[in-house]
C-alpha cells in the first residue's frame, strides 16, 4: 500500500473517530495518538536502525539467537541476616532452579562500616547480609562452587573490597580468578543521584572504578566490572527516557575516566553491563530496552570509536519495579510482576530478578520468592514470549515509541554534555532535580486520580494486616558483633596492620592501582570497615546537597 493510500484511509478513520468520541469521550491521560500506522515509522530505515539480532545497532538484541539458544539467567536478589542464613537461602534458590546468584548486602556493608560500628546499630543484617571480613564471605559461599556459579553483587562504594573477598574465597576453593563469572554493581554515579550508598567524593570513586576495570581486564577477564544502573534512577521516580538517558550519560563518564587513565576503549568496554527497571507499562518498557541498545551502540561507535562488536553491545540485567509493588492487596503484585517479566523478556534482557509480592511490606518469605521465580519459569517455558526473537519489532507503535524514547534520551545526553558530563550534572544537582520532579508528578497524578493504581486509589477493600512476614531478629546484630570480635582475636594483627599501612601509601599515590593492595589486606582478614576507614582517611567523604 502506498503512503498516500494509507493517509487517505487514516483521514477517513479519524473522521469516524470524531463522531464516536463525541458520543463516548476517550479516557483522559492517554498517549497523544490512539492509533499507529506505517506512516509513523515511514522514515525508519530497517537496515540502519532496526537491523538484526547480534548485529549493530543491536536494537533487536545483543545475541544472534537470543532465547532460542538459552533463556536469560534467572537471578534472584537475596541476602539477609548472617552469612550462614543467606548461604542457606542461596542453596535453596540453586536447588529451585535459579541459574545465578545475586547478593544483597546490608547497609553497613554497602557503606563500608563494620557491624560493631555505632552507626551500624539497628541496621545489621536488615536489608541484606552483613559482611565484615573474608571470614563472613567464606561462610556465605560455603558449598557453592565459585567455578560454576555466576554471582552478581550489589555493591558500589566498597566494590573493590567485596570483589577482593570473592577472589580470595575462590582461591581457597582452588578456583583461579580468571575462571570467575559475575558482576559487581560498582556504579557510584547513580549512588550520588538516586540510591544513596556513596562513601568517597567523585574523583577518588572514579579512580577506584577505573582501577577495577584495569585489574579485571588482566586478572578476572570474565567478570562484569560494572553494572551501570538505571534501575534505581527509575525507582527514585524518573521516567523511562530519563532512566536510560541518565544511565548512558553515567556510562559515558566511566568510559571517559578509564580512557583518561590510559585504558583503551576496547580493552574494557566489553565488560560493561547495564541494569534496567521493568516497570508497569509493558510496551513502553519493551521500547525502552530496544532504544537503549541502539543509543549505547551509537555512543560506543561514534563517540568512542570502539571497534570490537562486544564493546557496542548493551548487555542488561533487569529487575521488576519495586516501587510499583503495593502494600495494599499484596497478591495483586504477582500479576504486576508477571507483566513486568513479560516486558523484560520481550525487551531482550540477559538476566532477570523478579520481585516478590510481599516486598512493599518486608523482605520476602521463601514461599513468595518461589512464586516470583516460578513467574519467570512460566514466562520462559509456557508463554511463548521467548520463542521468537524481538517479537514486537515491526509493531507500528513499538517502533515509533522506540524512536521517541531514543530521541528523548539523546536530548538529555546533549543537555548533560553541555553541563560538562554526568559528574558535573550530578554535582550541580541537575539529574537529581529532574528525577525528583518526575517523582512528584507521579505522586500528584496518583492522588488526583489521573493515574490509577489498583487497590491504592481505586478498587480498595478493607484488609486484615498481612500475616507471616519475614522478620530479621534484632539479635542478629549482637551475634554478628560477637563473631567479628572472635575473628579479630584469632587473626594475625601485625599482618593486618602492615597491609593497611601499605594500602594507605597506595591510596596516596594516584598512579597506583589499589586492587592488589586491597586484595592483600582482605587476605589478612582486615575488615571492610578497616579497609574503608583507611580510604576515608585519605579520600575524605562525599557530602550531598539537596535542593527540594
Partner 1 sequence: MAKVRVLVAKPGLDGHDRGAKVVARALRDAGFEVIYTGLRQTPEQIAEAALQEDVNVVAMSILSGAHPHLFPKVVNLLREKGMDDVLIIGGGVIPETDIPALKEAGIAEVFTPGTPTGDIVDFIKANVK
Distances (CA, A) of 510 to 121, 256, 504, 514, 541: 34, 17, 11, 9, 17
DSSP characters over 159-194? HHHHHHHHHHHHHHHT--GGG-EEEE---HHHIIII
Contact status, residue 349 vs residue 376, Cβ threshold 8 Å: no
- Alpha carbon dihedral 505, 506, 507, 512, in 10-degree steps, equals 150
* 548 touches partner 1 by CB under 8 A: yes
* 119 touches partner 1 by CB under 8 A: yes
Q: Residue 333 or 524: which CB sits closer to partner 1? A: 333
Selected from 327, 334, 419, 479, the binder of partner 1 by CB under 8 A is 327
* 5 touches partner 1 by CB under 8 A: no
Selected from 13, 46, 440, 459, the binder of partner 1 by CB under 8 A is 440
Q: Residue 44 or 457: which CB sits closer to partner 1? A: 457
Site for partner 1 in 183-242 (CB under 8 A): 191, 195-197, 235-237
Interior/surface letters 54-89, b for 16+ CB within 10 angstroms, e for the rest? bebbbbbbbbeebbeeebbbbbbbbbbbbbebbbeb
- Least Cβ distance, residue 111 to partner 1 (angstroms): 6
Relative orientation angle of helices 528-539 and 159-173, to the nearest 10 degrees: 140
* 454 touches partner 1 by CB under 8 A: no
Q: Any residues with CB less than 8 A from the CB of 308 and at least 6 apart, and which?
A: 266, 269, 270
- H/E run at residue 340: helix 332-347
Q: Residue 236 or 258: which CB sits closer to partner 1? A: 236
Query: How many residues make contact with partner 1 (CB under 8 A)?
Result: 46
Selected from 44, 280, 326, 332, the binder of partner 1 by CB under 8 A is 326
Q: Is 105 helix (H, G, I), strand (E, B) or coil?
A: strand
Say how far apart CA 411 and CA 291 lie, in whole Å. 13
Q: Residue 117 or 406: which CB sits closer to partner 1? A: 117
Residue 180: all three cell numbers together: 570467575
* 418 touches partner 1 by CB under 8 A: no
Site for partner 1 in 91-110 (CB under 8 A): 107-108, 110
Short-list 355, 332, 471, 480, CA closest to 78: 355
Name the one range near partner 1 by CB under 8 A: 265-273, 288-296, 376-384, 437-445: 437-445
Q: Residue 377 or 457: which CB sits closer to partner 1? A: 457
Any idea what the Cα angle at residue 271 is, between residues 266 and 275, rounded to 5°?
A: 130
Site for partner 1 in 359-378 (CB under 8 A): 360-363
- Least Cβ distance, residue 327 to partner 1 (angstroms): 4
SS3 letters across 393-410:
CCCHHHHHHHHHHHHHHH
Integer distance in angstroms from the first to the last C-alpha of the chain? 53
- Least Cβ distance, residue 503 to partner 1 (angstroms): 24
- Least Cβ distance, residue 119 to partner 1 (angstroms): 7
Short-list 337, 317, 326, CA closest to 463: 326
* 243 touches partner 1 by CB under 8 A: no
Q: Residue 446 or 538: which CB sits closer to partner 1? A: 446
Q: Residue 251 or 455: which CB sits closer to partner 1? A: 455
**Residue indicated by cell numbers 534505581:** 232
Q: Residue 61 or 108: which CB sits closer to partner 1? A: 108
- Contact residues toward partner 1 (CB under 8 A) are 107-108, 110-111, 113, 119-123, 126-127, 191, 195-197, 235-237, 323, 326-328, 360-363, 436, 439-440, 443, 446-447, 453, 456-457, 465-466, 469, 471-472, 474, 544-546, 548
Amino acid at each position: 500500500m502506498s503512503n498516500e493510500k494509507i493517509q487517505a484511509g487514516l483521514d477517513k478513520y479519524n473522521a469516524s473517530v470524531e463522531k464516536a468520541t463525541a458520543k463516548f469521550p476517550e479516557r483522559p491521560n492517554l498517549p497523544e495518538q490512539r492509533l499507529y500506522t506505517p506512516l509513523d515509522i515511514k522514515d525508519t530505515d530497517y537496515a540502519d536502525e532496526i537491523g538484526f539480532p547480534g548485529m549493530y545497532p543491536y536494537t533487536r538484541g545483543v545475541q544472534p539467537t537470543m532465547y532460542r539458544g538459552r533463556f536469560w539467567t534467572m537471578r534472584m536478589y537475596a541476602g539477609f541476616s548472617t552469612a550462614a542464613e543467606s548461604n542457606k537461602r542461596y542453596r535453596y534458590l540453586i536447588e529451585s532452579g535459579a541459574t545465578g546468584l545475586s547478593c544483597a548486602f546490608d547497609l553497613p556493608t554497602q557503606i563500608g562500616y563494620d557491624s560493631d560500628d555505632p552507626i551500624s546499630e539497628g541496621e545489621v543484617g536488615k536489608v541484606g547480609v552483613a559482611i565484615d571480613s573474608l571470614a563472613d564471605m567464606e561462610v556465605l559461599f560455603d558449598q557453592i562452587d565459585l567455578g560454576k556459579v555466576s554471582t552478581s553483587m550489589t555493591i558500589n562504594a566498597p566494590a573493590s573490597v567485596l570483589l577482593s573477598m570473592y577472589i580470595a574465597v575462590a582461591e581457597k576453593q582452588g578456583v583461579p580468578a580468571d575462571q570467575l563469572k559475575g558482576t559487581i554493581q560498582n556504579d557510584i554515579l547513580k549512588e550520588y543521584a538516586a540510591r544513596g550508598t556513596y562513601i568517597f567524593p567523585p574523583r577518588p570513586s572514579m579512580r577506584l572504578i577505573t582501577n577495577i576495570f584495569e585489574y579485571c581486564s588482566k586478572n578476572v577477564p570474565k567478570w562484569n566490572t560494572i553494572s551501570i544502573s538505571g534501575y534505581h534512577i527509575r525507582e527514585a521516580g524518573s521516567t523511562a527516557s530519563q532512566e536510560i538517558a541518565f544511565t548512558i550519560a553515567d556510562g559515558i563518564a566511566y568510559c571517559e575516566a578509564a580512557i583518561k587513565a590510559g585504558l583503551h576503549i576496547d580493552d574494557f568496554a566489553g565488560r560493561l553491563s547495564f541494569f534496567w527497571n521493568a516497570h508497569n507499562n509493558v510496551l513502553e518498557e519493551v521500547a525502552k530496552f530496544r532504544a537503549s541498545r541502539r543509543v549505547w551502540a551509537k555512543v560506543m561507535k561514534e563517540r568512542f570509536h570502539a571497534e570490537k562488536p562486544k564493546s557496542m553491545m548493551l548487555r542488561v540485567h533487569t529487575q521488576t519495579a519495586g516501587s510499583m509493588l503495593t502494600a495494599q492487596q499484596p497478591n495483586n503484585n504477582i500479576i504486576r510482576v508477571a507483566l513486568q517479566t513479560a516486558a523484560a523478556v520481550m525487551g531482550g534482557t540477559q538476566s532477570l530478578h523478579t520481585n516478590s509480592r510481599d516486598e512493599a511490606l518486608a523482605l520476602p518469605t521463601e514461599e513468595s520468592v518461589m512464586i516470583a521465580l516460578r513467574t519467570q519459569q512460566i514466562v520462559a517455558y509456557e508463554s511463548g514470549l521467548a520463542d521468537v526473537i524481538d517479537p514486537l519489532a515491526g509493531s507500528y507503535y513499538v517502533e515509533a515509541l522506540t524512536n521517541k524514547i531514543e530521541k528523548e534520551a539523546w536530548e538529555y545526553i546533549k543537555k548533560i554534555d553541555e553541563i560538562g558530563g554526568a559528574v558535573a550534572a550530578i554535582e550541580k544537582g541537575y539529574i537529581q532535580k529532574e528525577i525528583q520532579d518526575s517523582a512528584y508528578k507521579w505522586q500528584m497524578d496518583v492522588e488526583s486520580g489521573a493515574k490509577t493504581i489498583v487497590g491504592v486509589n481505586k478498587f480498595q477493600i478493607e484488609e486484615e494486616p498481612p500475616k507471616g512476614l519475614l522478620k530479621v531478629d534484632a539479635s542478629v546484630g549482637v551475634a554478628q558483633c560477637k563473631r567479628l570480635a572472635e575473628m579479630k582475636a584469632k587473626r594475625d594483627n601485625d599482618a593486618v596492620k602492615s597491609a593497611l599501612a601499605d594500602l594507605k601509601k597506595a591510596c596516596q599515590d594516584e598512579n597506583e592501582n589499589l586492587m592488589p593492595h586491597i586484595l592483600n589486606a582482605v587476605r589478612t582478614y582486615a575488615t571492610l570497615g578497616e579497609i574503608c576507614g583507611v580510604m576515608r582517611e585519605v579520600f575524605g567523604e562525599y557530602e550531598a546537597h539537596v535542593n527540594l
